[in-house]
Amino acid sequence: MPPFLFWFFALMTLGFGAGVIINRSPIGSALSLVLSFIGLSTLFLSLNAYFISVIQVLVYAGAVMVLFLFIIMLLDLRAEERRKINVVAFAGGAAVALALFVQVYRIIGALGAARQAFPPLRSGNTDDVRRVGLLLFANYNLPFQIVGVLVLVATIGVIVLSKRELR
């Protein structure tokens, strides 16, 4: 991927990521998040990680965010748009964020590995879906099964809770 595309999509990811918290309307926030996800998935694409990139769009942008949007629209949140900006809280939040950023920057800068250039990535001609699958089902089979059971329990829990509320 040419560098200008990397910068474009990186800025898109960050810019719309900032848009999520800056935007006053919840719908605008949600859609910014979708665009941020799409930028992120494009960055994965530049690393030849097609599977992760597509799953990013499929799961987050295509399913999770649609549900979010669905809920936001149903609730019709207008209070956020009307609320006034508290200057002190805003400045405080910005200061904390800046402090965190400086901290991360200094620590990574102090790390020896971060100072040297990364070796160029090997071009991924292999089928990354196959490799993800092999890793999941061979090396990490047990955690995978546990996560599966966890999700199943969560699903049953959601059904039980929603059924109880109906009565």
Partner 1 sequence: MDYFLIGTSLAKIAGLLAVVLGIMNYSVYAERRISALIQDRLGPNRVGPAGLLQPIADAFKFLLKEDFTPGHVNKFYYWLAPCLAMIPAIATLAVVPFGSTLFGVPMVIADINVGVLYVFAIASLGVYGIVLAGWSSNSKYPFLGGIRSSSQMISYELSLGLAVIPIFLVAGQLRLTSIVRFQIEHGWMIAPFIGDWTNIGKWLLAVPMLVSFLVFTIAIFAETNRLPFDLPEAETELVGGYHTEYGSMKFGLFFLGEYIAMITGSAIIVTLFLGGWHLPLPSWHGGFHWAVVNGSAPGWRGIIGGIFNIACFFAKVAALLFIFIWVRWSLPRFRYDQLMRLGWVFFFEIALVNIFVVAVIVAYISK
Nearer Cβ to partner 1 (8/50):
50
Residue 117 CA to residue 71 CA, distance in Å, equals: 45
CA torsion through residues 66, 18, 114, 40, sign: positive
Nearer Cβ to partner 1 (116/123):
123
Nearer Cβ to partner 1 (17/28):
28
Q: CB–CB of 30/72 below 8 Å?
A: yes
Give the interface with partner 1 as residue ranges (CB under 8 A): 27, 31, 34, 50-51, 54-55, 57-58, 61-63, 66-67, 69-70, 73-74, 127-129
Q: Work out how close the CB of 166 gets to partner 1 at its nearest, in angstroms, rounded to a whole number.
A: 14
φ/ψ of 160, rounded to 5, equals -60, -45
Q: Work out how close the CB of 37 gets to partner 1 at its nearest, in angstroms, rounded to a whole number.
A: 10
**By C-alpha distance, which of 68, 31, 39 is closest to 56?**
39
